[in-house]
């Protein structure tokens, strides 16, 4: 269905790289997530698209139990390695698709996902499922790649992301996220658009982006309007990106 086979291929080949990724394991990001969620020690959390397991491990130190899901078996294997290395035993890993969650309604106190939503083939169905399995009063958290509001940035930056990673679906802008989440029984508590820089060539190397696509990415950047170039400065050794962080409560 959708881009699942591409996701499994791209991330299965690079699963160990993502477990060791300093971007995904950034302690500042993870500590900020925990400070926003303020997890209860008896809480049960769901980590959607766990990847290298960083989110699940951070949550497991604060809650009773974490269920960590992913559609890529190699990623789940790497996440289990990371969990064992951390000495945590309250994480359950299982293969599952966010668009078809095999959990009962209102099962979790926390549903979280980091750096994954841009791969979800049907974002509306995915967030609906995440919300469905969340208890009333439960906490909904997403941190994901984003783009600045605007027709040009929403189109062209996603072109760049797809050239870098063929399993990319869409990095949503804040205005697009607001439209998506307004359909759900959620009350937004905090949102932040965070500007970041990725080092090159590491950003390309992580997905094995070929030279042709790298050149095309730079061509897109050179052809952006002056306003967009101000938002997305770049150089031979770096590229500017954005992330959107969302904390909401299920009503």
Residue 27 confidence class, pLDDT cut points 50, 70, 90 = confident
Residue 112 confidence class, pLDDT cut points 50, 70, 90 = very high
* Mean pLDDT for the chain overall: 91
Is the per-residue pLDDT at 13 higher than 60? Answer: no
For the chain, domains (ranges, CATH) are: 4-147+168-195+242-250 (3.40.50.150)
Residue 29 confidence class, pLDDT cut points 50, 70, 90 = very high
pLDDT tens digits for range 162-214: 999 988 999 999 999 999 999 999 999 999 999 999 999 999 988 889 999 99
* pTM, full prediction: 0.91
Closest CA to 132 of 159, 98, 161, 163: 98
Q: Is 183 exposed, middle or buried (0-12, 13-18, 19+ CB in 10 A)?
A: exposed
For residue 202, give Cα distances in angstroms to 47, 66, 205.
26, 31, 5
Residue 18 confidence class, pLDDT cut points 50, 70, 90 = very low
């Amino acid at each position: 269905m959708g881009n699942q086979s591409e996701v499994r291929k791209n991330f299965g080949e690079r699963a160990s790289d993502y477990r060791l990724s300093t971007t995904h394991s950034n302690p500042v990001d993870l500590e900020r997530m925990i400070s926003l969620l303020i997890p209860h020690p008896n809480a049960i959390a769901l980590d959607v698209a766990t990847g290298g397991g960083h989110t699940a491990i951070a949550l497991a130190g604060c809650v009773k139990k974490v269920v960590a899901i992913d559609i890529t078996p190699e990623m789940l294997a790497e996440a289990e390695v990371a969990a064992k290395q951390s000495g945590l035993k309250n994480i359950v890993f299982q293969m599952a698709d966010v668009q078809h969650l095999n959990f009962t309604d209102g099962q979790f106190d926390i549903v979280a996902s980091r750096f994954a939503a841009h791969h979800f083939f049907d974002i509306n169905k995915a967030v609906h499922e995440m919300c469905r399995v969340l208890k009333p009063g439960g906490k909904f958290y997403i941190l994901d790649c984003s783009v600045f509001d605007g027709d040009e940035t929403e189109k062209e930056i996603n072109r760049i992301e797809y050239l870098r990673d063929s399993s990319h679906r869409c990095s949503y802008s804040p205005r697009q996220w607001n439209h998506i989440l307004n359909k759900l029984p959620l009350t937004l508590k905090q949102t932040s658009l965070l500007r970041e820089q990725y080092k090159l060539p590491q950003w390309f190397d992580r997905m094995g982006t070929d030279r042709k696509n790298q050149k095309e990415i730079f061509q897109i950047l050179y052809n952006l309007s002056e306003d967009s170039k101000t938002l997305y400065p770049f150089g031979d050794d770096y590229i500017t990106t954005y992330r959107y962080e969302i904390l909401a409560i299920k009503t």
